[in-house]
């Protein structure tokens, strides 16, 4: 099954992307901002659409767009009359409609453009695969080195700030990682699978674990493993790879919920 080069590249890309998004997703779940992942995935798509219009580098433009939105949402104070979720909803709606409008106004999207915008794991190139592995290594390193700081400002940002930690800077740093991870992933696997990998492995892990370390470990393993199973499923059953992976990730959440409820009632 993994003999063709494109399948091997897809395997490496899905493991790297799933593992890095698994780590980031746990932080998003702990901070109760899972929709930030969706917003940034769509912001990266807006960047790719702008790059298509101006013939810029889609990788750089989409990363700049996602990082700018990540930092903007971290810096701008939300109005007191609306919740953070509402701001995320607004950003998601705006970022979802923008690529369609941009391309409809100034370009006629062909199949390559749509792949570039919405991703296709089976079409990932070797250079892009290397890029995804580098992003995964950077995120893994940042997690290993700074997880204590990230968790400190996640658990109680105000107490950390009073003790001398620049909580806002660390929160922005975390947002920056989310932006980079989402931009790198959405370009290759699309917004749906990117959002699913940011959300579902962490959700499953939280349902079946009782420690921070185990939550990260389970999320990384599921994020790396289930998209590979999705690839295999798509290969043997002739199904689209992205939705097959999302389906498996969704089933894992249901299984974890069932496991959690049976263990708590037992």
Partner 1 sequence: MAHSRPILTGRELSIGYHHRAVFEDVSFDVHRGEILGIVGPNGSGKTTLLRTILGLLKPLRGQVERDAGLAISYVPQRDRIDTILPVTALEVVLMGRAARAGALQRVHDADRDAGLRALALLGAEPLNRQLFRNLSGGQQQRVLLARALAADHTDLLVLDEPTAGMDAASEASTLEFLRDLNRNPGVTMLIVTHMLPIVLNLATSIMLLGSRTVLHGTVDDVLREERLSELYGVPVHLGIVAGQRTLVVGRRNAIDV
Size of the site for partner 1 (CB under 8 A): 28
Report how far apart, in Å, the C-alpha atoms of 243 and of each of 116, 120, 172, 219, 234 are: 17, 11, 31, 19, 9
**Rule CB under 8 A: which of 46-105 touch partner 1?**
80
CA torsion through residues 205, 40, 150, 77, sign: negative
Say how many C-beta atoms besides its own lie within 10 A of residue 108's C-beta.
7
Selected from 84, 161, 171, 250, the binder of partner 1 by CB under 8 A is 161
Comparing CA positions, the residue from 35, 32, 71 lying closest to residue 169 is 71
Verify binding: residue 154, partner 1, rule CB under 8 A: yes
Please tell me the distance from the alpha carbon of residue 66 to that of residue 175, in angstroms, as a whole number: 10
Please tell me the distance from the alpha carbon of residue 212 to that of residue 151, in angstroms, as a whole number: 9
Binding mask 1-30 for partner 1 (x = CB under 8 A): ----------------------------xx
Verify binding: residue 134, partner 1, rule CB under 8 A: no
Cβ at position 59, least distance to partner 1 in Å: 29
Cβ at position 252, least distance to partner 1 in Å: 18
Binding mask 200-219 for partner 1 (x = CB under 8 A): ------x--xxxx-xx----
Give whichever of 25 and 190 is closer to partner 1, judged by the CB atom.
Answer: 25
Comparing CA positions, the residue from 174, 172, 175, 196 lying closest to residue 185 is 196
Please tell me the distance from the alpha carbon of residue 159 to that of residue 148, in angstroms, as a whole number: 14
Interacting residues toward partner 1 by CB under 8 A: 29-30, 32, 80, 145-146, 148-149, 151-152, 154-156, 158-165, 206, 209-212, 214-215
């Amino acid at each position: 099954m993994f003999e063709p080069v494109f399948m091997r590249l897809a395997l490496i890309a899905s493991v790297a992307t799933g593992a890095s998004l698994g780590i980031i997703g746990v932080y998003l779940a702990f901070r109760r901002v899972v929709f930030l992942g969706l917003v940034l995935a769509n912001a990266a798509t807006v960047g790719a659409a702008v790059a298509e219009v101006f013939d810029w580098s889609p990788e750089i433009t989409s990363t700049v767009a996602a990082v700018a939105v990540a930092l903007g949402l971290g810096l701008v104070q939300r109005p007191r009359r609306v919740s953070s979720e509402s701001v995320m909803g607004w950003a998601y709606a705006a970022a979802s409609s923008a690529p369609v409008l941009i391309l409809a106004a100034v370009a006629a999207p062909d199949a390559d453009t749509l792949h570039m915008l919405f991703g296709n794991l089976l079409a990932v190139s070797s250079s892009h695969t290397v890029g995804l592995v580098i992003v995964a290594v950077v995120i893994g390193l940042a997690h290993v080195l700074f997880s204590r700081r990230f968790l400190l400002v996640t658990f109680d940002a105000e107490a950390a700030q009073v003790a001398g930690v620049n909580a806002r800077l660390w929160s922005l740093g975390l947002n920056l990682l989310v932006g980079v991870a989402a931009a790198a992933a959405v370009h290759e696997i699309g917004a749906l699978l990117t959002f699913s990998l940011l959300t579902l492995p962490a959700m499953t892990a939280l349902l079946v674990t009782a420690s921070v370390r185990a939550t990260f470990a389970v999320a990384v393993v599921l994020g790396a493993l289930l998209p590979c199973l999705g690839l295999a499923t798509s290969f043997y059953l002739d199904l689209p790879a992205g939705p097959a992976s999302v389906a498996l990730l969704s089933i894992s959440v249901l299984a974890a919920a069932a496991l959690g409820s049976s263990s708590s009632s037992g």
